[in-house]
Amino acid sequence: MLILYYQRLYLNFPFFKVANENPLLAIYPSGNMSKPLHPHVLIYYTIFLMLYQYSLLKILIHLCQHIFYFAYTVLILIERLIIMPIVSTNVPYHSNMLRQNLNLLLRTYPFLNVQTVGNSVLGTPLYVIKLGRGSKKVFYSASIHANEWITSSVLMKFVEDYCISYVRNSNLYGYSVRNLFNSTSIYIMPMVNPDGVDLVTGNLAVSSPSYQKALHIANQFSSIPFPNGWKANLNGVDLNLQFPAGWEKAREIKYSQGFTRPSPRDFVGYGPLTEPESLAIYNFTLSHDFRLVIAYHTQGKEIYWQFQNFLPPNSRAIGEQFADSSGYVLAETPYNSSFAGYKDWFIQTYNRPGYTIEAGMGENPLPISQFDEIYEDNLGILVLGAVL
């Protein structure tokens, strides 16, 4: 071991020379082979060499660490400037895409919070995303009706844009997302009816028992196109007619229209909150103190803000700002559709602002080609809902 150090000593300090005949005993100053160094001096120089080499190694290690951290920081900055989109907005959106998007969003933006608040008829998880940590709480939901799946794309795109703006410390619809993150907690249930969405978008195998069950129900209502006319869950119950806010009146109206049994649409069920999806959103709402809720539907470019004679404070004023930002019409809910909805129950229970947004225009399911217009129209509503 000492021989190795002596050789290194000579390589690092050429004014020394190691004697070939006995390197353990004789190290001579270069050019003077008559006077070997004293053994004590040899020990001192050995210690010096060890310290010198250790210092160089230590410096090299620290240098490599700094280079690594610098490179990592540069990569993070590049990633923040050039962010590849995660949420697909050019294809029909179904439950598998939702799950994949949530996994990628969680890995990319660890400040997101995602929880499961229940399961559908087929056992599909019902996810809720939380944005922010503020004391003010609002709640947005989408796709309670199966053939209105484009609303899930809208809310998921909003989640992604919110995250990007937070990372970049930029604004969304003119508001600082960092400030919004600290002031408001936005809860989002992007797909209330995943089984129905999968049926309409073709994500449910035709040969599966669930598809065949839905087909059997649909065959009894031949005037409703299948699967495009399907709004219900896989039990044939309209989830937005399941809430204890005039449910009996909703049953009376829908029964008179012929929807007295499981159907692709408009069957209220055999009682309120009989379905796992409606019960999940009901219980989740009860466990939080939401100051405002927005339920996304399609279509009509209208905003419904009332339930019967309930007029929550500021609800009309907020609705007018929603209308101004979107170009939609602030309207009263049509009588035959004004009972047992989620928004209706929230207003009745809490006397706080609740809104149904009928996004886009046309026949459900709206084509994905409308996405850009719908998102642009509704971005202001989604931000203002957390601000006002």
Share of the chain above pLDDT 70, in %: 80
Task: Answer yes or no: is pLDDT of 36 > 60.
Answer: no
CB atoms under 10 Å from CB of 35, counted, come to 9
pLDDT: which is higher, 42 or 237: 237
pLDDT in tens, 149-169: 999 999 999 999 999 999 999
Band the pLDDT of 353: cuts 50, 70, 90. Answer: very high
| pLDDT for the residue numbered 183 | 98
pLDDT confidence of residue 336: 84
Give yes or no for a contact between 195 and 125, defined as CB atoms under 8 angstroms apart: no
State how far the alpha carbon of 1 is from the alpha carbons of 8, 27, 163, in Å. Answer: 11, 16, 58
Q: What is the pLDDT of residue 71?
A: 72
Q: pTM value?
A: 0.80
Residues designated catalytic = 358
Choose the weakest-confidence range: 73-87, 137-151, 360-374.
Answer: 73-87
CA dist., res. 373 & res. 386, Å (int): 21
332-350 residue pLDDT tens: 888 888 899 999 999 999 9
Average pLDDT over residues 102-130: 97
What residues does each domain of the chain span?
A: 2-81, 95-198+258-387
Q: Are 3 and 24 in contact (CB under 8 A)?
A: yes
Tens of pLDDT, residues 275-306? 999 999 999 999 999 999 999 999 999 999 99
Range 95-198+258-387: architecture per CATH: 3-Layer(aba) Sandwich (3.40)
Across the range 48-58, mean pLDDT stands at 65
